[in-house]
């Protein structure tokens, strides 16, 4: 059983501490043999600072990015665009996010970088098939976001999604030897990526998820999309079952919204109502979970420190230490001859 919780002062300190840990693991390579490294990557605000520190470390030669292969957690289905290429390069796509926040900052690129193929699915055709082929799928989950489970007997468009989008991504990860280190954040209700509350753990390796109306409305309200018609109504995502097969999982969490889900996941029961809580079973069967949290999230953890230590977990308090190089002070310059960042 291995859970380590590092309490940092703020977002900058989380970003720096997590980047140092991750870059050390990449440098060591798989099982210390220098045979390359497979990373699982997340989008959202939580990892952005860490990505900037990792890019600076890679560009300084701390680790060789050409030895790294990556797999992202999720991608939207239904982004605006007439074809998969337009949808993949839409500013709200997770593919675009990764280029802007991480990949585009690297002077030497990863050996490969994969994102679930949500953009090759035509949302209008998906909607039509879900309406016409009721016997080929079912919804699961108790929350407002529901997973669409496609029957193994389904053919046509739904069967194509199951085999060529969901199963194929799972196969790619297996062919790479599995994920060495998976980066995750956590949602306000304890969800991981688009594994929403109420979706069971078993059979959740790759998910097609119907987004709830509140998620769509919030995306429009926050200015990400002009209208509900322009907003994706589905997503493709790794589920908790696949996430927690990584050899190491790194959780990043900061701010008041993350207090309850982190505490529930670590100290409450293991339940699909809090998908992150599966980390307890993951740890019990030998997985390594390393949590980097800020002082806001860490306050509750430090209050329960004795209970956590009784479980054999490690709590490291670095909340009094500030980041040496805050994220806002990181600078990337482009070589005029090569065009590469340094």
User: What average pLDDT does this structure show over 256-273?
Assistant: 95
Q: Is 222 helix (H, G, I), strand (E, B) or coil?
A: coil
β partners of residue 192: 195
Report if residue 335 sits inside a domain: no
Residue of 255, 248, 251, 256 whose CA lies nearest to 266: 251
Cα atoms in the 13 Å half-sphere on the side-chain side of 162: 18
Report if residue 290 sits inside a domain: yes
Phi and psi at residue 183, to the nearest 5°: -90, 130
CA atoms of 34 and 29, how far apart (whole Å): 4
User: What average pLDDT does this structure show over 34-56?
Assistant: 93
Report if residue 192 sits inside a domain: yes
pLDDT reported for residue 102? 98
Residue with tokens 């440098």: 27
Percent of the chain with pLDDT over 70: 95
pLDDT reported for residue 338? 57
Report if residue 334 sits inside a domain: no
Report residue 176 CA to chain centroid gap: 18
User: Which residue segment(s) compose the domain that 36 sits in?
Assistant: 2-319
Phi and psi at residue 18, to the nearest 5°: -65, -40
Residue of 261, 158, 124, 141 whose CA lies nearest to 211: 141
* Structure-model confidence comparison of residues 171 and 311, the more confident one: 171
β partners of residue 113: 70
User: What average pLDDT does this structure show over 84-104?
Assistant: 96
Q: Is 278 helix (H, G, I), strand (E, B) or coil?
A: helix
Beta strands in 55-110 (DSSP E): 68-72, 74-77
Report residue 186 CA to chain centroid gap: 9
Report if residue 339 sits inside a domain: no
pLDDT reported for residue 335? 65
Q: What is the mean pLDDT of the chain?
A: 93
What per-residue string of b and e applies to 121-154 under the rule 16 or more CB within 10 Å gives b? bbbeebeebbeebeebbeebbeeebbbbbbeeeb
Query: Sign of torsion, CA 257 73 22 315?
Result: positive
pLDDT reported for residue 216? 84
pLDDT by residue (tens digit) across 123-179?
A: 999 999 999 999 999 999 877 779 999 999 999 999 999 999 999 999 999 999 999
Strands 314-318 and 288-293: unpaired
Report if residue 340 sits inside a domain: no
Tokens (6 digits) for 292 = 């980097």
- pLDDT at residue 1 is higher than 70: no
Here the CATH number for the domain that contains residue 141 is 3.40.50.1360
252 contacts 50 by C-beta, under 8 angstroms: yes
Instruction: Count how many domains the chain has.
Output: 1
CA distances from 234 to 168, 184, 226 (A): 18, 20, 17
* Structure-model confidence comparison of residues 185 and 214, the more confident one: 185
pLDDT reported for residue 32? 47
Question: Which of 87-91, 94-98, 213-217, 249-253 is least confident?
Answer: 213-217
Tokens (6 digits) for 74 = 């999720």
Tokens (6 digits) for 89 = 């390069």
β partners of residue 39: 70, 181
- pLDDT at residue 11 is higher than 80: yes
Residue of 251, 296, 297, 299 whose CA lies nearest to 275: 251
Report if residue 328 sits inside a domain: no
Report if residue 342 sits inside a domain: no
pLDDT reported for residue 30? 66
Q: How confident is the model at residue 44 (pLDDT cuts 50, 70, 90)?
A: very high
Residue of 188, 186, 193, 196 whose CA lies nearest to 145: 196
Question: Which of 218-222, 235-239, 307-311, 324-328 is least confident?
Answer: 218-222
pLDDT reported for residue 333? 73
User: What average pLDDT does this structure show over 206-233?
Assistant: 88
277 contacts 190 by C-beta, under 8 angstroms: yes
What per-residue string of b and e applies to 159-171 under the rule 16 or more CB within 10 Å gives b? bbbbeebbeebee
Q: How confident is the model at residue 340 (pLDDT cuts 50, 70, 90)?
A: low
């Amino acid at each position: 059983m291995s859970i380590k919780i590092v309490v940092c002062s703020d977002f900058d300190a989380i970003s720096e501490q997590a980047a140092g840990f991750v870059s050390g693991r990449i440098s060591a390579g798989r099982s210390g043999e220098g045979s390359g490294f497979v990373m699982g990557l997340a989008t959202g605000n939580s990892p952005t600072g860490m990505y900037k520190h990792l890019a600076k470390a890679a560009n300084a030669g701390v680790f060789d990015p050409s030895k790294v292969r990556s797999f992202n957690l999720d991608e939207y289905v239904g982004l605006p665009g007439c074809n998969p290429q337009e949808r993949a390069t839409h500013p709200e796509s997770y593919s675009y996010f990764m280029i802007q926040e991480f990949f585009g900052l690297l002077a030497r690129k990863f050996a490969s970088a994969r994102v679930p193929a949500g953009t090759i699915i035509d949302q209008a055709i998906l909607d039509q098939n879900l309406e016409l082929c009721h016997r080929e799928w079912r919804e699961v989950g108790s929350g407002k976001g529901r997973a669409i489970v496609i029957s193994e007997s389904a053919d046509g468009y739904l069967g194509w999604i199951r085999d060529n989008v969901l199963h194929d991504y799972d196969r790619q990860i297996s062919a790479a030897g599995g994920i060495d280190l998976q980066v995750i954040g956590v949602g306000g209700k304890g969800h991981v990526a688009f594994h929403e509350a109420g979706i069971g753990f078993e059979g959740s390796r790759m998910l097609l998820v119907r987004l709830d109306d509140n998620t769509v409305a919030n995306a429009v309200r926050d200015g990400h999309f002009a209208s509900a018609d322009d907003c994706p109504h589905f997503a493709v995502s790794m589920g908790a079952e696949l996430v927690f097969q990584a050899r190491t999982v790194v959780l990043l969490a900061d701010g008041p919204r993350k207090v309850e889900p982190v505490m529930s996941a670590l100290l409450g029961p293991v339940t699909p109502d809090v998908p992150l809580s599966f980390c307890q079973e993951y740890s019990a069967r030998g997985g390594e979970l390393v949590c980097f949290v800020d002082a806001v999230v860490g306050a509750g953890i430090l209050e329960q420190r004795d209970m956590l230590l009784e479980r054999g977990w490690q709590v490291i308090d670095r909340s009094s230490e500030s980041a040496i190089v805050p994220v806002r002070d990181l600078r990337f310059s482009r070589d005029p001859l090569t065009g590469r960042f340094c």
